[in-house]
Every structure is written in C-alpha cells, then in structure tokens.
Amino acid sequence: MAQSIDQTAERPPAPAVQPGYGLWMLGLLTAANALNMLDRRIINILAEPIKHELNLSDAQLGALTGLAFALLYCTAALPIARIADRSDRVRVLGVAAFAWSAFTALSGAAGSFIQMFLCRIGVGVGEAGCAPPAQSLIVDEFPAERRSGALAIFMSGQSIGGALGLVAGGVLGEMIGWRWTLVCAGVPGLIVGALVLLTLTDPRRHQAPADRPAQQPLMQVLGMLLKRPSFVLVSLAFGSIGFVGYTAGAFAGSFYLRSHAADLAQLSASLGMRPLAVIGLGLGLFGAVGGAAGSLAGGWLGDRMGRRDVRALTLIPAAGMLLGTISYAAMFTVPDVTLSLVLSALAAFFIALFGGPGSLALQQVAGANARATALAVTTFIASGIGLGIGPVATGLVSDALAPSLGPAEGLRMAILICLVTGLLGAICFAAAGRTLARDIAEANDPAK
C-alpha cells in the first residue's frame, strides 16, 4: 500500500521577495556547496606529491584526507547547527565560507604532518557550517513538491566541486606545485561567502521574536531523533556513503599512479600532459558528469515517486548504493585505465542518487524546528564513520598488505575490502523505508 505524506503544513510563510530570488539563492548555495567539496577533495589529487615531500605513510595520508577533516567537522556541525536552528542561517553560512576558505589557503604553508593536520581540522570547522543551514533554507524556500529536486541541485554541487578540485588540483599541481594550488583553492570561497552575506536573507529576519520557532533542549531533540528508526538507519547509510566515497576519492589518485603507471605514461604522452593532470582531468570530468547527473536523476525520481509513496525516498538511495558499490569495485579491478576512469563516472552516478531523496527524508523526519540539528547529528555519525574511519582504515590495511603484495596491489586490495561497507549502506536505506511514513507523521504531530 502506498504511503504518502503531505508536507505543506510545515513550511513557514515566507516574506515577499523579488522574482527569481529562490533560483539565485539555490544557485549561490549550490556554489558554496561546490567550493565546500572542492576544498575537501583537492588534497586527494595532490596526495602523492604531499606524501613524498612531507614523508608520510599511507595511514598518515588517510588521516589528512579524512580523519583531520572529520574530527571537528562532525563535532562542530552540531553546535553550529543549533545556532542555525535558532538564529540567522545566512550569517552562519557566510562566516563558515570565510573560515574554511582561509584554512584551505593556509594549508599551502604547512611544513609537516602536524601542521597540515591542524589546517585540515580548520577546514572542517568552517565547512560544518555549510550543509545544515543551507539545506534548512532550501526547505523553507521551496514548496513540498519541489524540495527533492531543489535539494538534489544543491547536492549536485558536491559532484561539481569535487570534480573541479580534481581537475584544478591535477593541472595546477603540475604547473605551480601543491602548495600554491591550495592557496588558489581558498580564494573563490571568500568571494562566495561575501555574496551570501550581501545578497541572501534568512526569512526569520522578517519574523517577530515571538513568531520564531521555539528551540527544544538539545538532549530532548537528540532523544526524539534517536527514537525514530528511519532517522538512525538513514544516518548510518549516510556514513556508509561517506566510507565508500571518501575511501575511493582519497586513494584514487595514488591508485592510478601506482597500478597504471605504464598506461598513464603512454596516455599522458599522447595528450601532451603529465600523469597527475591526466588523472585529475579524467576523474574530475567523469565524476562531475556522473555525479551531477545522478544527483539530478535522484531528485527527479524523489519528487515523482515520493509523492505516491514516501518509501521511495530511501529505496532510491538503496538501489544507488548497491549499484554504486559494484561499480566502484569494477573501477579498481579492471586492467584498462581508460575503462576504469569510465567506470568512475558510473559509480559517481549511482552513489549520487541519494542526494535529493535521502536528504529530504532526513529533513522530513526531523520536523520543521530541528532540521539543521538533525542534519548535524547525521553529519556527526556519517563523518565519524565515513571521513574519520574510512580513509585511515584503508591506509592502515594498505600499509599492512604492502610488504607482501607491494604498494600498488596492497592499496588495491585495501580499497576493495573497505568497499564492503557500501552493501551495508544499501541495507540500511532499504530498512529505513519500513518506518519512514510513521516517523514523518510523528515529526509533524504538534502533540509530539
């Protein structure tokens, strides 16, 4: 039996705004999200040069690409989201953009593992203020029947930004070195942060203090969310997405340089480029096309199917997670480097299907007054699992296997072993559909 939920009641009345404001807001927030991911991912394509110059192990490399970012990203997201749930979300996002951009640029001056680690922690602090307030603003701005699509467009910024990070990192890394590349990567975020502060308005500014939603105590909100099975399961599934995505992203550049060195040298010579630039261009373009297409397709499917049966908001990501994990496994297994890069586009497409419907499921389960807090709790869980554990665990397994299998094959096997978590994520998404409608109804019940 189909289960549908009417979400129009939770959308607060919006003040009159200029025509096109919603599209401008969505575009600007998507750009911020793209730069968020650019600054997060650019270090991945620069991993090998950084590894050799700073004399790092694969475990330390995994810590820089995952653990350092996750340490304060997942812990800062909750207090920042609490501020966003009760105050001006635009100001929170604008200040955060300035912070993560400055720390990205500062990373170029790092002279040791510790200094780079601390800079990456700083990037995580700033970026914790991006997704929770931005998604909350989008849900307030767009009507229920367009929310999955709008959130999918916002999430497509991650694919675009990640791709730009890989392309720019690969090309600039060969031209000006990894240090100046990181400095250049921090500049656009300062511009976008200024535009956010100067051109966007939180609708709460037009509300009298008495009309603003009352914020429940933190422990009460946490208790409420953790009692909703669909919220817990979707949060764990997001962790699985992070584990698979960040593991693949953190070590893809190193994998190609180690396992496909001869093919890359031949391909690079034919294109008149250096191997690092070829990897960045290939992964970036294929990732952008596949990821953006997957996000938009997932959003369209979520809007279309979610109106008839709310369980589609978790079943779509479940299917995407399963097919994406299989595609990633093929990407790191096939012997041909060109085919492997093509498979990276397929993997990015399927994994990105979660963006619109999965994010909307979380927003609806949280209810109108705790959206940013709910997303921050999910960020805490997902970052702890995906960013905090994924790349480091992969690096440790790679270091352990390298003496017997060699650095190339050891890394390949480590990645394949860690991809198993993707299957667990698909199961969590599918299981969440069983209680999703009930949990959304409870979130919209004024008596709860």
Which pLDDT score, from 0 to 100, does residue 417 have? 92
Of residues 54 and 166, more confidently modeled: 54
* CB atoms closer than 10 angstroms to residue 373: 28
Q: Which of 33-37, 140-144, 226-230, 418-422 has the lowest mean pLDDT?
A: 140-144
Residue 130 has pLDDT above 70, yes or no: yes
Of residues 84 and 423, more confidently modeled: 423
Which pLDDT score, from 0 to 100, does residue 447 have? 56
Mean pLDDT, the chain, integer: 83
Q: What is the mean pLDDT of residues 260-266?
A: 84
Q: Rounded to an integer, what distance in angstroms lies between the CA atom of residue 10 and that of residue 7?
A: 6
Q: Among all chains, which residue has been given the structure tokens 């807001």?
A: 25
Q: Rounded to an integer, what distance in angstroms lies between the CA atom of residue 54 and that of residue 110?
A: 9
DSSP string covering 84-119: HHHS-HHHHHHHHHHHHHHHHHHGGG--SHHHHHHH
Cα torsion 186, 190, 192, 198 to 10°: value is 170
Q: What is the mean pLDDT of residues 319-330?
A: 95
Which pLDDT score, from 0 to 100, does residue 12 have? 46
Q: Rounded to an integer, what distance in angstroms lies between the CA atom of residue 436 and that of residue 5?
A: 10
Residue 317 has pLDDT above 80, yes or no: yes
Q: Rounded to an integer, what distance in angstroms lies between the CA atom of residue 11 and that of residue 194?
A: 28
Q: Which of 59-63, 329-333, 375-379, 395-399 has the lowest mean pLDDT?
A: 375-379
Residue 426 has pLDDT above 90, yes or no: yes
Which pLDDT score, from 0 to 100, does residue 61 have? 79
Which pLDDT score, from 0 to 100, does residue 266 have? 84
Which pLDDT score, from 0 to 100, does residue 171 have? 82
Which pLDDT score, from 0 to 100, does residue 15 have? 46
Which pLDDT score, from 0 to 100, does residue 427 have? 96
Residue 448 has pLDDT above 70, yes or no: no
CATH number of 22-205+215-443: 1.20.1250.20
Which pLDDT score, from 0 to 100, does residue 18 have? 60
Which amino acid is residue 214, in one-letter code? Answer: A
The rounded percent of the chain whose pLDDT value lies above 90 is 27
Which amino acid is residue 423, in one-letter code? Answer: L
Split at pLDDT 50, 70, 90, the class of 8 is very low
Which pLDDT score, from 0 to 100, does residue 10 have? 46
Which pLDDT score, from 0 to 100, does residue 13 have? 47
Which pLDDT score, from 0 to 100, does residue 41 have? 80
Q: How far is CA 219 from CA 6, 222, 347, 363, in A?
A: 28, 5, 38, 18
Split at pLDDT 50, 70, 90, the class of 11 is very low
Which pLDDT score, from 0 to 100, does residue 423 have? 93
Most confident of 122-126, 202-206, 296-300, 431-435: 431-435
Structure tokens at 234: 């979707």
* CB atoms closer than 10 angstroms to residue 347: 29
pLDDT digits (tens, 9 = 90+) for 334-385: 998 889 988 999 999 999 898 789 888 887 887 766 666 777 778 777 777 7
Which pLDDT score, from 0 to 100, does residue 1 have? 41
Q: Rounded to an integer, what distance in angstroms lies between the CA atom of residue 247 and that of residue 208?
A: 46
Burial code (b: 16+ CB inside 10 Å, e: under 16) for 16-34 equals eeeeeebeebbebbbbbbb
Split at pLDDT 50, 70, 90, the class of 216 is low
Split at pLDDT 50, 70, 90, the class of 209 is low
User: DSSP alpha helices (H): ranges in 200-228?
Assistant: 218-226
Q: Rounded to an integer, what distance in angstroms lies between the CA atom of residue 365 and that of residue 361?
A: 6
Which pLDDT score, from 0 to 100, does residue 174 have? 82
Which pLDDT score, from 0 to 100, does residue 384 have? 73
Residue 105 has pLDDT above 50, yes or no: yes
Q: Rounded to an integer, what distance in angstroms lies between the CA atom of residue 124 and that of residue 127?
A: 5
Residue 212 has pLDDT above 60, yes or no: no
Of residues 97 and 224, more confidently modeled: 97
Which amino acid is residue 126, in one-letter code? Answer: G
Residue 329 has pLDDT above 90, yes or no: yes
pLDDT digits (tens, 9 = 90+) for 373-413: 777 778 777 777 777 788 888 888 998 999 999 999 999 99
Q: Which of 12-16, 73-77, 98-102, 425-429 has the lowest mean pLDDT?
A: 12-16
Q: Rounded to an integer, what distance in angstroms lies between the CA atom of residue 335 and that of residue 330?
A: 10
